[in-house]
Structure 1
Amino acid sequence: MAEEPTSWKEALNSEKEFQDFITNYFKEHKELSGSYDIPSYYEHYTVHLDSHEGIVITLTTGMNQTGDTGNAPTPMPFKQKEAMSIEDFRKLILHKKFADQNMSLADVFQVVAGVPDANN
């Protein structure tokens, strides 16, 4: 993901700058998505900006079918939705001590959604 002229890390220093950055980011990108898949389990998330709810993160988790399951029903995926204001998201980032200072905005959304990275 290419960084904007003012990076999200620089914009964190000001409530207004961060709100402007996030608003402009989602005007251009509409939605951000990511996933984590292993043979037995998956997690997919999407993030978008809603004019009423703020930042909306939707996380879908489920079990992948593996091997011979006989007549066992396919488990339904679990969908969870969380909404937060842009300022609450900024505060969450400010109070979170990220181990990797080179995280992208997509990485931060992944952490907030609770999706493990490929190394976990």
Structure 2
Amino acid sequence: MEEKCNNNLIVNSGIGKYSRISRFDENHNLIDELYATIENWITSIKAETFAFLLELFIGHDIEKVYIYTDSELVYNRFNDLVKKNDFVNARKIFKEQNNLYYWALIKLKLKHMRIPIS
């Protein structure tokens, strides 16, 4: 089975901020949607990173999963993590790094579940 995923951060003044994961089959038919919220998202990057992490947990047993995100930062950090297999240093922890705990979980998920990346 092949599955496609689309991560979105939705901001609505009446609802607040929440993250949405939409799941589609290989024919682009909607399978399911998942909505999540955290009391204080703070940034859209945090919501995008969280949605990305959730999809790794939810879709790990699917043969092929495509994850689409409109966040260039999430995309670049994921690629850095896969290529270098190291993304933490003192400067990133104290100056640059956003959502360090989420990225640590993503790294552990990739390592322990042996998720193939292409």
Which TM-score band (shorter chain)?
0.3 to 0.5
Considering fraction of residues, name the structure with more helix: 2
With normalisation by structure 1, the TM-score equals: 0.35
Query: Could you tell me the TM-score, scaled by structure 2's length?
Result: 0.35
Structure with bigger gyration radius = 1
